[in-house]
Structure 1
């Protein structure tokens, strides 16, 4: 029987939740690798691990936040965004000069807040055509 990546991720999250030691986690990783190799699903490992991480983070009440900005965020701006998103937010940052100004925030890969100059210009010019 072939399982989906989501099913593998749910099983991985459930097993990892019960582990106590790094040695146990290492054994679980080796067994997962072997199982995925045998079922020819090894190319799905990134997706499975990513989804398992998301499941475990949600169970703890946390959210993953990706911030993309035109320039590196200042310490004050980083703290401001962190306070707005809550204490359990895991924030990753990326710099993308093509945004021109502002920032794009993606919360749990589902919610997009696009406050970039690039987006505003796109909206402005699309209304005039």
Structure 2
């Protein structure tokens, strides 16, 4: 009986630890995504400002087209970098969640006496 209580206690502790790890993963993800979103907003504002400055300094239509092309090229490059960083972040979270799920499965399997026989 005492062994069962200790096992339950251990399982409960592992469950609480898992929830804390899950919360930490989610908190880090939210913080990272919020930062990426702020970076994107900053990028939009910066690109718009640079574009308007270039347009205001244009002397002819060719200068306008050149400024537009340069601005959009730089903007697209930076948006793609933001996207790449965000995807890397998401893949990292996936890896952390898979690891957490595997550990939880091992913990539960170690608790279940029937699963101990299957090993």
TM-score by length of 2: 0.25
TM-score by length of 1: 0.24
Q: Which has the higher strand share?
A: 1
Structure having greater relative contact order (Cα 8 Å, sep ≥ 6): 2
